[in-house]
């Protein structure tokens, strides 16, 4: 066996050859070692799984779209920080490595990612690998094209409400688009799993049942009116009922309870929202009645004020007339 560096150097012997390579692909078991890919300036895809990589230098690849580095021995992903065109990256998979404690905010610059897998599977843990990522999913709120994530065995424990609607739609089709199993008793990502499991890992259903929380952090994810939200909830309820009906006997054991839980939670959210909407309608009706009576009262008060003003004017007029009469009488008396 040879190291990853020697393997590629033997495959592409000159710098001129390396500069033309579009896809870097290694599918052999290699010796542990570092890898410098700075000569592969035009590469668009890197496939280096199970290559025993310990350190990687990507250089300044301008067109990189895909990075698959799972099942290696990498301890850091600092090589991502110098990529000059982060917006071009579509898929990033670094699962099952040995990444030391790293905040997941490091991925926030890759705004067009569709796939982001950074966790550690049971097999990875068995192979003495574990990625120590931590932080809040809030840092991924601008990754608006996400469709699949893996945070297994990480310490990512909050921020579910910030995940984009693109991922929510993807989870409708497959429960595997958000992999968040703790795989260890001390992994904090269990907090994410505990929130999603009752919804059968359907992020869209979770978002509909936590609409207030979603609206608070991102108003664009939720419909603007309660009526629209009720319609979406009702649609989701019907879809869930259909899923339960269509489950075969084998899957009923594994998914049946989760789907029934999802149905109950959706129904509860629907009932609460419908009740709230009825209360708002009643409040609106009562408010209109009060406003109507206030207007009548206001008109009545204006009439009273006008009447009082008229009386005051009349009194003043009589007072002035009386005063004039008194003055004239006094004047005559004086001259007499």
Q: What is the pTM of this model?
A: 0.81
Q: CA nearest 43: which of 28, 63, 27, 71?
A: 63
**pLDDT tens digits, residue range 263-306?**
999 999 989 888 888 887 777 776 776 566 556 556 666 666 66
CA separation (Å) from 130 to 74, 78, 157, 165, 185?
A: 10, 17, 17, 29, 14
Domain 4-216 fold: 3.80.10
Average pLDDT over all residues of the chain? 87
Specify the pLDDT at position 303.
Answer: 63
**pLDDT tens digits, residue range 200-248?**
999 999 999 998 888 878 756 666 677 888 889 999 999 999 988 888 6
The helix (run of H) or strand (run of E) holding residue 178 is: strand 178-179
Highest mean pLDDT among 158-172, 224-238, 242-256: 158-172
Q: Does the pLDDT value for residue 152 go beyond 60?
A: yes
**Contact assessment for residue 37 and residue 16, using Cβ atoms and an 8 Å cutoff:** no
Specify the pLDDT at position 30.
Answer: 85
**pLDDT tens digits, residue range 100-112?**
999 999 999 999 9
pLDDT band at 328 (very low <50, low <70, confident <90, very high): very low
- The number of residues in the chain equals 336
The residues, any chain, with a CB within 8 Å of residue 207's CB and separated by 6 or more, are: 161, 165, 168, 214, 221, 222
Higher pLDDT, 220 or 183: 183
H, E, C per residue of 54-88: EEEECCCCCCCCEEECCCCCCCCCHHHHHCCCHHH
Q: Does the pLDDT value for residue 37 go beyond 80?
A: yes
Q: Does the pLDDT value for residue 333 go beyond 50?
A: no
Q: CA nearest 228: which of 186, 188, 277?
A: 277
- Residues of the chain with pLDDT > 90, as a percent, come to 64
Could you tell me where the DSSP H helices lie in 84-163?
122-126
Specify the pLDDT at position 327.
Answer: 47
Pairing of β 148-150 and β 115-117: parallel
Q: Where are the domains of the chain?
A: 4-216
Higher pLDDT, 254 or 159: 159
When mean pLDDT is compared across 86-90, 110-114, 154-158, 232-236, the lowest value belongs to 232-236
Specify the pLDDT at position 332.
Answer: 41
pLDDT band at 251 (very low <50, low <70, confident <90, very high): low
Specify the pLDDT at position 329.
Answer: 45
| Angstrom distance (rounded) from CA 241 to CA 254 | 16
- Radius of gyration in angstroms for the set of CA atoms belonging to the chain, rounded to a whole number: 36
Q: Does the pLDDT value for residue 98 go beyond 60?
A: yes
pLDDT band at 322 (very low <50, low <70, confident <90, very high): low
Q: Does the pLDDT value for residue 74 go beyond 60?
A: yes
| Angstrom distance (rounded) from CA 38 to CA 79 | 11
Specify the pLDDT at position 284.
Answer: 76
pLDDT band at 334 (very low <50, low <70, confident <90, very high): very low
């Amino acid at each position: 066996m040879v190291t990853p560096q020697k393997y590629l150097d033997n495959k592409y012997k000159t710098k001129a050859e390396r500069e033309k390579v579009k896809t870097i692909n290694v599918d052999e078991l290699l010796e542990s070692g570092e890898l410098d890919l700075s000569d592969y300036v035009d590469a668009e895809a890197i496939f280096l799984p199970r290559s025993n990589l310990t350190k990687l230098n990507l250089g300044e690849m301008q067109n990189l779209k895909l990075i698959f580095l799972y099942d290696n021995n990498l301890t850091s992903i600092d090589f991502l920080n110098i990529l000059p065109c982060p917006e071009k990256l579509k898929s990033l998979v670094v699962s099952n490595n040995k990444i030391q404690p790293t905040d997941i905010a490091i991925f926030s610059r890759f705004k067009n990612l569709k796939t982001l897998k950074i966790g550690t599977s049971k097999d990875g843990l068995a192979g003495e690998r574990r990625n120590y990522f931590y932080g809040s999913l809030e840092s991924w709120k601008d990754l608006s094209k996400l469709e699949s994530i893996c945070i297994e065995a990480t310490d990512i424990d909050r921020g579910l409400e910030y995940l984009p609607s693109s991922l929510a739609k993807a989870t409708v089709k497959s429960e595997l688009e958000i992999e968040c199993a703790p795989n260890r008793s001390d992994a904090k990502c269990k907090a994410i799993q505990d929130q999603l499991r009752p919804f059968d890992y359907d992020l869209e259903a979770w978002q509909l049942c936590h609409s207030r929380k979603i609206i608070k952090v991102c108003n664009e994810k939720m419909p603007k009116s309660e009526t629209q939200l009720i319609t979406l909830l009702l649609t989701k309820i019907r879809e869930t009922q259909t899923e339960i009906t269509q489950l075969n006997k084998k899957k009923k054991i594994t998914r049946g309870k989760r789907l029934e839980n999802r149905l109950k939670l959706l129904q509860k959210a629907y009932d609460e929202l419908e009740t709230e909407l009825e209360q708002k309608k009643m409040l609106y009706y009562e408010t209109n009645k009060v406003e109507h009576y206030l207007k009548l009262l206001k008109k009545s008060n204006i009439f009273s004020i006008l009447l009082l003003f008229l009386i005051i004017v009349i009194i003043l007029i009589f007072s002035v007339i009386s005063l004039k009469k008194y003055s004239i009488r006094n004047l005559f008396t004086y001259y007499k």
